[in-house]
Amino acid sequence: MTIRFDNQVAIVTGAGGGLGKQHALELGRRGAKVVVNDLGGAVDGSGGSAAAAELVAEEICQGGGIAVANGASVTDLAAVETMVADTLSEWGRIDILVNNAGILRDKTFAKMELDNWHAVIDVHLTGSVNTTKTVWPIMVEQNYGRIVMTTSTSGLFGNFGQSNYGAAKLGLVGFMNTLRMEGAKYNIFTNSIAPVAATRMTLDLPGFEDSAEKLAPELVTPAVVFLCSDKAPNGRIVQAAGGRYYCADVRENEGVNLGSEATADDIEANIEAILDMSSNVGILERVPHR
């Protein structure tokens, strides 16, 4: 193992099963001290138990690693602050944060209750903000940090019945894009993983039938572990599906300069050129809008 995390401390949220469990186990194998965080609720976020997190922490320890379990909900800022304070008190630093916790409450937008909209946004987006906000000053002080957001193709490209989930997941990309700028001078690099994996969250989704082996969660973990390392890039979206690793990006084209007198009729006349992405410009290549 050339990538090691000896003397480093990692927090992985939603690590009681699925993707988060595999991330936590591999970080532990590679020498990191791991906080295995998981509320232990159902796929829709209801209920809660520390049992799943405790089993993963125990597995890491049985393998010769160091880990502790934590049952805080990422939506509970006070509980997150306590988790981070306890981690700092025990191990003195926090080097890695993998924001993986998530829930599903799928419905078409027309039928979706707003409570289900807010619940999904609160876990995926605000939950990631809570954890990141709490570890950020620690990473600034130690001049080092690696943060991984878990986005999704549902956010990047959309998915029927997942307006709440997709909005949260693309929101994480926007969050990442700003953190990559603000964190760079402190050697804090923030990236996103867009996984396609068979977990309990995908059991009832079309296209995931009989996919447990070919879309195993552990096939996503190599990309996440690399993004946690000191060789990680900054501000990139890495996709992972069944052993294939590829990149997504937010791009814009050169467009058409219609001047200050442009009208809607000018837009109509030039719409093909305005929408033509054959001469695209990467967002990383331009000055951000203010």
Longest dimension (CA), the chain: 70
Q: Is 186 a catalytic residue?
A: no
Q: Where are the alpha helices (DSSP H) in 184-289?
A: 221-227, 264-275
Tally of CB atoms within 10 A around 165: 24
Residue tagged active-site, from 144, 165, 245, 246: 165
Tell me how far apart the alpha carbons of residues 232 and 181 are, in angstroms, rounded to a whole number: 15
- In terms of C-beta density within 10 A (0-12 exposed, 13-18 middle, 19 or more buried), how is residue 40 classed? middle
Active site residues: 165
